[in-house]
Amino acid sequence: MQNFRSHVGNEKMNKVRVLIAEDHKTVREGLRMIVAAETDMEVVGEAGNGREVIHLAQQLQPDIVMMDISMPELNGLEASAELKKIAPAVKIIILTRHLVKAYLQELLQVGVSGYVLKQSESSELLRAIRVVADGGSYLDPAVTGTIFDICAVKQNKQRGEVQNELLSNRETEVLRLIARGYSNKEIAVQLKTSVKTVETQKATALRKLNISGRNEIVSYAILQGWLREN
């Protein structure tokens, strides 16, 4: 019948629960090995096509779905759009071997939280999982230039009129680091301050810019050119 394997065990409940959606068995097994080797993650299921991943996501309630963009029955974009409708709390990281510019804008609009190229180092994938699990958005460094171009073309007048001068230097730095995928705790360490201070500076910056959430922070950062910087 359906070609998938569910993984249910007595693992600690605080592990990030990952569902792998990939139609190539060898690639799927490789992804499972990479994720399962981490002490803070577990693979709860595997799917070989878009319809399977929707079924399994409803059944297993994973924290994150690693979604191949090219799959039979429903592709990654179609499956992501459907999944965000029926299980909006599930976060999605798109996996692809090639940058699919035609899909990228739509994936961001659908609400995908991460985009990782398969040829990237496994450390990139693992970082993406941790960033997204912590509530962030993750873009493979190889695709940030393309995303900048897409967002620049669609830049609306209201967002374009937002000025950096509205923010203090520290508020700007906090938003830069959030956009690059760092958690509040990691930002606090880098800036040598407390998590509470970071949260306050973030809240103040969002109020000044009239934006909300990490996805809008990433969009703002892209429009400001922050993600192009080394």
Q: Name the 3-class secondary structure at 95.
A: strand
Residue 115 near residue 107, CB atoms below 8 Å: yes
Domain extents for the chain? 16-140, 155-228
More confident residue, 212 or 135: 135
Residue 159, pLDDT > 70, answer no
* Bridge partners, residue 16, by sequence: 41
| CA-closest candidate to residue 141, choices 188, 191, 179 | 179
Residue 10's pLDDT is 46
Q: Which residue has the higher pLDDT, 129 or 167?
A: 129
Quote the tokens at residue 13: 């409940």
Structure token digits, residue 182: 């760092």
CATH fold of 155-228 reads: Arc Repressor Mutant, subunit A (1.10.10)
HEC sequence for 4-69: CCECCCCCCCCCEEEEEECCCHHHHHHHHHHHHCCCCEEEEEEECCHHHHHHHHHHHCCCEEEEEC
Contact status, residue 211 vs residue 169, Cβ threshold 8 Å: no
What CATH architecture is 16-140?
Answer: 3-Layer(aba) Sandwich (3.40)
Per-residue confidence band for 160, with pLDDT thresholds at 50, 70 and 90: very low
192 φ/ψ sector (left φ>0, alpha ψ -120 to 50, else beta): left
14-53 per-residue burial string, b: 16 or more CB within 10 A, e: under 16:
ebbbbbbbbbeeeebeebbebbeebeebbbbbbbbbbbbb
CB 16 within 8 A of CB 41: yes
Q: Is the pLDDT confidence value at 229 over 60?
A: no
DSSP-assigned beta bridge partners for residue 94: 67, 115
Percentage of the chain surpassing pLDDT 90?
38
Q: For residue 223, is pLDDT > 70? A: no
pLDDT of residue 32: 94
